[in-house]
Structure 1
Amino acid sequence: MSCSVDRLAILKILLHAAKYPSASINGVLLGREAPRASDGEAAIHIVDAIPLFHSFLTLAPSLETALLQVDAFCDLNGNLQVVGYYHANERLNELDLKPAARKIADRIQQRVPQAVTLLVDNGKLPALAEHISTDILQLWVKDGRGWVRSASSRLKADSGGLADLYMEMLLQGKQSQISDFDDHLNDLTKDWTNKALL
């Protein structure tokens, strides 16, 4: 399995993590299956990310409600579907999918068998700000052993100019404007699709 990620999706994930730096955050990835390569390898193209939660990540009723809303959003946007899950741990340099994250990833993978998971490497965010590294996402795929980290070469991220855009958005305070589904449940005027944000 290989995966490509558009810059819009990466920025939304990073802004979600920046808004809640001391909390675990998660969301779903929207996109489509890409045409199979000549070797028959499956590929996913991620074009957007929908921020879901920053508290009570495993609360099943909230998750089910959010996924139903996301499905309805995808139906309205015709060519999009949920193709994966993203997660950032609350601690720097914590690079494993915890049991709660694995359960949610499993739930999404039950609905979409080719689904992938992206884990944010929080420890590399300062390096991104200093233009040292853009390798801040890890690709996880499910095989017979469960969720395993895939080779970094399998993840192709549109990271051209990402550091500059990210820093510009932080300076504009965009991280405080992004809304996840948690925010929406507390205030229905908050748009969890964040259409106007970027």
Structure 2
Amino acid sequence: MTNIKFSGKAYCKMILHAMKYPHCTVNGVLLAKTSSLGEKEVEFVDSMPLFHICVNLTPMAEIALMQIDELASKKGLTIAGYYIVPDNISRDNVFEKSYHRIAEKIASNCNKSYLVIVNSTNTTIHKGNVALKIAQLVDGNYKPCENPNISFGTSDTINACISLVENAAFKKLVDFDNHLDNVSLDWTNDVINKEIEYLL
């Protein structure tokens, strides 16, 4: 059994990214405490929304990953996961279709990386269901984690996420696509981070 822990910040920002662009496939990366990367455990402390226009590896993705890696290393964190929210969850809810070159790039730098598929349907979120499917890199391939033990930083994470969605906090979320359109927009999402911390 794999123990996977998500901070409220990591989980909520993935869901908010999905809610902001329900008609698009969106993706991003997950940052973990370097010290938490064991054989069968990981603690994701933040998520960084990347794209909603073109989710495959592009020169812009390379730039985003370099900037995120620099920020992460200053905080003792590692890019250890890739998340994707398919626009058609019933069709694309499998790891083979969700695997992108960004996940491959992350795997080349972190041999204990993870791939997360997020089911962001409104019913799933409002029922408070944990909407994640997770695979781990094993021998160079992503393999589904069997019966992963998914936990959260606090017991209020799900309720905080529902509250943020109901209050349309996703409108303030900035992904890297938004930042490329207007470089004054903060892709680190300091405003959202503070809102999440307040609710938790």
Given candidates 67, 70, 77, the residue that maps to 2:68 is 70
Answer yes or no: is the 8 Å Cα contact 1:5–1:46 preserved in 2: yes
Return the alpha-carbon distance in structure 2 between the equivalents of residues 127 and 100 of structure 1. Answer: 19
Q: CA deviation at 1:29?
A: 0.5
Q: How does 1:79-158 map to 2 (within 5 A)?
A: 79-93=76-90, 94-99=92-97, 101-123=99-121, 125-131=122-128, 133=129, 135-144=130-139, 146-158=141-153
Superposition RMSD in Å = 2.2
TM-score w.r.t. length of structure 1:
0.86
SS of 1:122's equivalent in the other structure is coil
TM-score w.r.t. length of structure 2:
0.85
Return the alpha-carbon distance in structure 2 between the equivalents of residues 35 and 22 of structure 1. Answer: 34
| Unmatched 5+ stretches in structure 1 | none
Aligned length: 191
2:99 corresponds to which letter in structure 1?
Answer: A
Q: Which residue of 2 aligns with 1:185?
A: 180
Return the alpha-carbon distance in structure 1 between the equivalents of residues 36 and 6 of structure 2. Answer: 15
Q: Which residue of 2 aligns with 1:8?
A: 9
1:18 corresponds to which letter in structure 2?
Answer: M
Return the alpha-carbon distance in structure 1 between the equivalents of residues 164 and 151 of structure 2. Answer: 23
Q: Deviations over 1:88-108 (max 9, x none)?
A: 111133311355633221111
Answer yes or no: is the 8 Å Cα contact 2:57–2:102 preserved in 1: no
Return the alpha-carbon distance in structure 1 between the equivalents of residues 22 and 36 of structure 2. Answer: 36
Answer yes or no: is the 8 Å Cα contact 2:179–2:186 preserved in 1: yes
Distance change >3 Å, CA 159–CA 75, structure 1 → 2: closer
| Unmatched 5+ stretches in structure 2 | 196-200
SS of 2:80's equivalent in the other structure is strand
Return the alpha-carbon distance in structure 2 between the equivalents of residues 34 and 156 of structure 1. Answer: 18
Distance change >3 Å, CA 34–CA 139, structure 1 → 2: farther
Q: Deviations over 1:24-60 (max 9, x none)?
A: 11111111244587xxx44211000000111111142
- Structure 1 range deviating more: 165-174 or 142-151: 142-151
Return the alpha-carbon distance in structure 2 between the equivalents of residues 152 and 15 of structure 1. Answer: 25
Q: Deviations over 1:80-127 (max 9, x none)?
A: 12111111111133311355633221111001111111110234x413
Q: CA deviation at 1:147?
A: 1.8
Q: CA deviation at 1:193?
A: 0.8
Q: Which residue of 1 aligns with 2:59?
A: 61
Answer yes or no: is the 8 Å Cα contact 2:31–2:78 preserved in 1: yes
Q: Which residue of 2 aligns with 1:52?
A: 50
Return the alpha-carbon distance in structure 2 between the equivalents of residues 51 and 127 of structure 1. Answer: 20
Return the alpha-carbon distance in structure 2 between the equivalents of residues 186 and 170 of structure 1. Answer: 24
Q: Which residue of 1 aligns with 2:160?
A: 165
